[in-house]
């Protein structure tokens, strides 16, 4: 986790440096998160960072912001940047005496609650957790989603799921992927996507259950004034759409002409996603032939989508098993009869969307099986 830290007094700065060292030690020993990357800045004195500029940069470049000082300073600094539960950075504040560590924003999805607890251990502070599910010991679906690496398509639905669990109710969860471990208290595994309150799937159509349930709603009779005669049928409000959690289990095989730009590749990719009914956030990596490993357009596309690019040799692609769409032109050009489908299959997945050609770019999708878990991570 990349953490940008700023302190506003000498005492606070000393605490920030001690905390950063402690987190680095955790990374070296494998404790907590092995990927801590903490930078510390001064918000005071000589070399003082401009708080507005520092916050704007940290918000874009880091996973979390740690303020060592008053909570009010942190609140005012982050206010212009707060946008969405799904995208906001984690924000934690710790007082300069190192007594309390408080998550201010993105406690679950951003991991601020866990960061506050880790910072508290490192600084010898008390973590102050205020989210209802945590203080009540109720399963937090957004924390589970983050730990499982699932993207949240409609974060506004998190509140509805949590509210039902907090009130003692139950929720039904449907998953396209196997989930090991005992379901949390209040969670039932559903076999019918259309009846689920939570849908775990790579497909953008995972909310199809909402429209199905809406179509099944019964009507009630509306009486016309004093006549007492039926005036028509009014449909009841449709059931709310389920919380949609996207599994990153799709490999995008991509072929392209030499010099293809990132925009053209992105356009073909989104067109393929739309036709396949796949959420773009379900794509875990792009794959292609090794002669395309340095195509700037393809690399820029992967950077923009924040996915790795896997490359395979002609020999590796030729050995891929499965039915593909052969092309004599492609064979003559790169030495193998198909790039996108073979590259998609090279990781061992199942081809679920065959080659789509658009603007000099070809795209195919395979799906790999990922086992999720309810067990504590």
pLDDT in tens, 345-364: 999 999 999 999 999 999 99
Q: What sign has the CA pseudo-torsion 202, 203, 207, 208? A: negative
pLDDT band at 222 (very low <50, low <70, confident <90, very high): very low
How high is the mean pLDDT of the chain? 89
| C-alpha to C-alpha distances, 131 to 74, 95, 136, 198, 300, nearest whole angstrom | 19, 20, 9, 20, 39
Distance CA 325, CA 188 (A): 42
Strand-strand pairing, 90-94 and 100-105 = antiparallel
Q: Which residue has the higher pLDDT, 272 or 223?
A: 272
Distance CA 67, CA 73 (A): 8
What average pLDDT score do residues 308-313 get?
97
The least confident of 13-17, 42-46, 96-100, 211-215 is 211-215
pLDDT over 80 at 196, yes or no: yes
Distance CA 12, CA 70 (A): 10
What average pLDDT score do residues 260-276 get?
97
Element (H, E) at 230: strand 229-235
Distance CA 16, CA 347 (A): 43
pLDDT band at 322 (very low <50, low <70, confident <90, very high): confident
Q: Which residue has the higher pLDDT, 368 or 26?
A: 368
pLDDT over 70 at 63, yes or no: yes
Q: Residue 233 has what pLDDT? A: 52
Q: Residue 40 has what pLDDT? A: 96
Q: Residue 31 has what pLDDT? A: 52
Is residue 173 within 8 A of residue 187, CB to CB? The reply is yes
Both tokens of 151, joined, read 């993207």
Closest CA to 156 of 264, 243, 63: 243
248-367 under CATH 3.40.50.920, yes or no: no
Is residue 282 within 8 A of residue 259, CB to CB? The reply is no
pLDDT over 90 at 238, yes or no: no
How many beta carbons lie within 10 A of that of residue 284, not counting itself? 20
CA 25 to chain CA centroid, nearest Å: 27
> What does the radius of gyration of the chain's CA atoms come to, in whole angstroms?
25
CATH number of 2-130, picked from 3.40.50.11220, 2.60.40.10, 3.30.470.20, 3.10.180.10: 3.40.50.11220
pLDDT over 50 at 6, yes or no: yes
Residue boundaries of the structural domains of the chain = 2-130, 147-246, 248-367
Same topology between domain 2-130 and domain 248-367: no
Both tokens of 233, joined, read 């049928």
* N-terminal to C-terminal alpha carbon distance within the chain: 16
Q: Residue 33 has what pLDDT? A: 53
């Amino acid at each position: 986790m990349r953490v940008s830290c700023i302190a506003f007094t000498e005492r606070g700065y000393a605490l920030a440096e001690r905390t950063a060292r402690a987190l680095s030690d955790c990374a070296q020993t494998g404790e907590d998160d092995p990927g801590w990357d903490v930078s510390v800045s001064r918000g005071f004195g000589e070399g003082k960072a401009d708080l507005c500029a520092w916050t704007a940069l940290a918000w874009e470049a880091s996973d979390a912001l740690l303020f060592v000082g008053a909570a009010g300073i942190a609140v005012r600094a982050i206010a212009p940047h707060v946008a969405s539960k799904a995208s906001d950075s984690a924000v934690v504040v710790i007082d300069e005496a190192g007594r309390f560590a408080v998550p201010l924003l993105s406690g679950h999805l951003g991991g601020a609650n866990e960061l506050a607890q880790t910072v508290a251990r490192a600084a010898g502070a008390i973590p102050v957790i205020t989210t209802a599910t945590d203080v009540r010991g109720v399963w937090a679906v957004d924390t589970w989603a983050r730990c499982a690496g699932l993207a949240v398509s409609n974060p506004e639905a998190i509140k509805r799921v949590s509210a039902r669990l907090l009130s003692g109710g139950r929720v039904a969860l449907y998953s396209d992927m196997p989930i090991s471990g005992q379901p949390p208290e209040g969670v039932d595994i559903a076999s019918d996507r259309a009846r689920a309150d939570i849908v775990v799937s790579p497909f953008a159509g995972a909310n199809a259950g909402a429209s199905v349930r809406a179509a099944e709603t019964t009507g009630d009779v509306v009486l016309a004034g004093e006549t007492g005669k039926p005036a028509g049928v009014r449909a009841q409000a449709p059931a709310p759409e389920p919380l949609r959690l996207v599994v990153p289990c799709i490999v995008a095989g991509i072929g392209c002409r030499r010099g293809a730009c990132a925009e053209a590749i992105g356009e073909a990719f989104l067109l393929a996603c739309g036709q396949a009914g796949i959420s773009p956030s379900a794509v875990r990596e792009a794959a292609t032939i090794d002669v395309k490993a340095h195509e700037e357009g393809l690399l820029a596309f992967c950077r923009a989508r924040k996915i790795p690019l896997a490359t395979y040799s002609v020999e590796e692609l030729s050995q891929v098993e499965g039915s593909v769409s052969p092309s004599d032109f492609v064979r003559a050009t790169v030495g193998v009869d198909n790039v996108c489908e073979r590259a998609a299959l090279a990781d061992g997945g199942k081809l679920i969307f065959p080659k789509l050609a658009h603007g000099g770019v070809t795209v195919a999708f395979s799906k790999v099986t990922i086992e999720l878990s309810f067990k504590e991570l």
